[in-house]
Structure 1
Amino acid sequence: MINTENAVVLLIDIQGKLAQKVVGSEELHQKVAQLVRGCEHFDVPVVWVEQLPEKLGATTSALADLMPNNTPVAKHTFSAFAEPRVAQTLRSLNRKQVILCGIETHICVYQTACDLLRHHYHVHLVTDGMSSCHPAHHQSGIAMMQQHGAWITVVEALLFEWQQHAGGSDFKAFLSLIK
């Protein structure tokens, strides 16, 4: 079970023109935005990375605008965890459940997942919050990460897992996240 006290979301490389070229870009943005709003609601930290932002561009404004008090970490490695600032941030948060979303599934998300698993993190893939330029690459990336031990989820299932209870004023606020 993924719990809010032990979870952190790692948002990977949803930036520049590539973010518009991946399969299902619009749905990807909607699902990741929903996840980011859920993180705010449940007080789950988001670590946000950008691959070579000086060359590939910044995170799309639709997502960056949801995190005005958060700053992305620039990386030059495919694995986000291989970037020392990201690894240090995750260690300092002392949360062992890392929820991955971003692009491309079979490259940066995959390499990040493998590194996290080797360092004994529990990796959860938000499969509707990640994509690649080719559908087969996305599906293969998910399968490869699963073979290494990553768990699969989707945004709505994750948010309901965090909510746990139906009812009360908190539930009404939660419902606004999933509609």
Structure 2
Amino acid sequence: MGPSPRLPDVTDTMSSVCDLQDRFRNAIWQFDKLLLTSQKVLRAAKIFQIPIVVTTQNKARLGGIVPELQELTAGAALNVDKTCFSMMVPEVSSHELLMSPEKRSVVIVGIESHICVTQTALDLVLRGHRVYVLADGVSSCNEQEIPVALARLRAEGVIVTTSESWMYETMGDAGVAEFKEVAKLVKESAGDTKTVLTGLLSSRI
């Protein structure tokens, strides 16, 4: 009998949370569902021990990250305020997380799909990174902007997928030690996942 499977190497993976601030709560389409996915992804990142990068957009005017995510992002590797739309500001792009010769896989949740998320994803692709944008983890003020942004990102080489698909791809094998925790997370968030897919993705299928 061979050795037990191991989690694929996630030392080259990073989770990015883009501008999920309380001031945007009433402006972003399906914001509450976006937060459900973000919470799930951050919990998965903790299980996989994936570093997290968080940005806020002009925090002095627009406030900090939403209360629902504060505890989950408390140990973030980077927490950066910016005025630039892309997350790839100097503090992020020059950090050791992104300076390694080994190009990272980066998963992105946040807002807005067609502005900050798109510009961040394209910047990362230009630097040679493998970029995942979660369709159930991004949104915009105007619903109609989202499918246009996702179609553009696919054409530019970004992987557009769902949070659950990304989690299982990251895990790779049901025999790994993390499977039990991930399966528990999936079970606990099953109702939320269905709510998100029914609401946030209903017009994109």
Q: TM-score, normalised by structure 1?
A: 0.90
Does 2:177 align with 1:141? no
* Aligned-pair identity (%): 28
Corresponding residue SS for 1:172: helix
Contact 1:99-1:123 at 8 Å conserved across structures: yes
Q: Report what 2:83 is aligned to.
A: 76
- Find the partner of 1:117 among 118, 122, 125: 125
- Equivalent residue, structure 1, for 2:67: 61
Shift of 1:170: 3.5
Structure with the larger helix share: 1
Taking structure 1 as reference, are residues 95 and 44 closer, same or farther at Cα in structure 2, changes over 3 Å only?
Answer: farther
Q: Deviations over 1:97-137 (max 9, x none)?
A: 11111100000011111111121112111111110011111
**Whole-angstrom distance in 1 between the partners of 2:26 and 2:35:** 9
Q: What SS does the corresponding residue of 2:14 show, helix, strand or coil?
A: strand
Q: Which TM-score applies when normalising by structure 2?
A: 0.79
SS in 2 for 1:39: helix
Structure 2 residue 75 is the aligned partner of structure 1 residue 52: no
The unaligned stretches of length 5 or more in structure 1 are none
Bigger radius of gyration:
2
Shift of 1:6: 1.9
Q: Residues 1-179 of structure 1 correspond to what in structure 2 (within 5 A)?
A: 4-70=10-76, 72-81=79-88, 83-89=89-95, 90-92=97-99, 95-166=103-174, 170-179=178-187
Aligned length: 177
**C-alpha displacement at 1:165, in angstroms?**
2.6
Unmatched tracts of structure 2, length 5 or more: 1-7, 188-205
